[in-house]
Structure 1
Amino acid sequence: MKHALHIDDAEVELSAIRAQGPGGQNVNKVSSAIQLRFDVAGSSLPDDVKQRWLQSGDGRLTQEGVFILKAQRHRTKEANRVDAWARLYETLDLYAKPPKPRKATKPTYGSVQRRLEGKAMQSKIKSGRRKDAAD
């Protein structure tokens, strides 16, 4: 799949860690999960993409601007490595495009009329509760 932006391999740190969950006898011996660390703040990405990513509030970002991803869906280290890269690019694609600007819209004529009719009816109800000053 073609991506708009490219991340250099040198900017990403991959390390093998032990996966969680069931795994039988091998679970405590084999490190098949992959932890991917990507320094967003210090990367070669365009500044606008960095800003959108850092201000996104993503829980996988540290306070220093390092994106940490754990890939453990598959049983093999190689499959998890491929999955980690795919998920990194998936996340990058979210912040690569600037958000669409909001277009201000006007209320329809009918909605304005309904609102005014409702206000008039409420006013009539409340004025009916009032005691006349003449009494």
Structure 2
Amino acid sequence: MLFELSMLKISNTVTLADWEIELNAIRAMGSGGQNVNKVSSAIHLRFDIRRSTLPAVYKERLLASNDSRISKEGVVIIKAQSYRTQEKNREDALMRLVELIRSVMVVQKKRRATKPTRSSQIKRVDNKKKQGQKKSLRGKPTF
């Protein structure tokens, strides 16, 4: 069962068209009684990165990312089954897709190497001495 979507906004300049995202309703797993067996409330989202209209930078970073939701063929697969209603699961799946796409564009700050402060070095050595004394008292007593 396919759904109609409106344009999905990723950023001010990037949007996804409705034909790029495939949503299927499936039966959820887990507890829920008879409702789980009768109602297809879970959503299975598929998004083909290579066929999409995303800018090349987004595509490269998504394909290079080591996310388990992205298959070797370059298809994002998200299964949403947290909620009882199909509509909420649909919204959840779409939001998770948007978060995934946005996350690859966040640039990590480069770590600048620093030396530990003098006081932290002294505290560390003092702590080690205290630990050593504590452990030396645990041994067999000598008479």
TM-score by length of 2: 0.67
**Is residue 54 of structure 1 aligned with residue 60 of structure 2?**
no
**Is residue 102 of structure 1 aligned with residue 123 of structure 2?**
no
Cα distance 1:23–1:104, how it changes in 2: closer, same or farther (>3 A)?
closer
Identity of aligned residues (%): 49
Code of the residue aligned with 1:39 in structure 2: it is D
Code of the residue aligned with 1:15 in structure 2: it is N
Per-residue deviation at 1:102?
3.2
Code of the residue aligned with 1:102 in structure 2: it is K
Structure 2 counterpart of 1:87, from 96, 101, 109: 96
SS of corresponding position for 2:52: coil
TM-score by length of 1: 0.70
**Structure with the larger RCO, 1 or 2 (CA within 8 Å, 6+ apart):** 1
Code of the residue aligned with 1:20 in structure 2: it is M
Cα distance 1:103–1:60, how it changes in 2: closer, same or farther (>3 A)?
closer
**Alpha-carbon distance between aligned partners in 2 of 1:59 and 1:100, rounded to the nearest angstrom:** 20
Q: Number of matched residues?
A: 108
Any residues of structure 2 matched to 1:26-37 within 5 Å, and which?
26-37=35-46
Q: Gapped runs of 5+ residues in structure 1?
A: 112-135
Q: Gapped runs of 5+ residues in structure 2?
A: 1-8, 119-143
Q: Give me the CA root mean square deviation.
A: 2.2
Q: Which runs of 4+ in 1 moved over 6 A?
A: none
Larger radius of gyration: 1
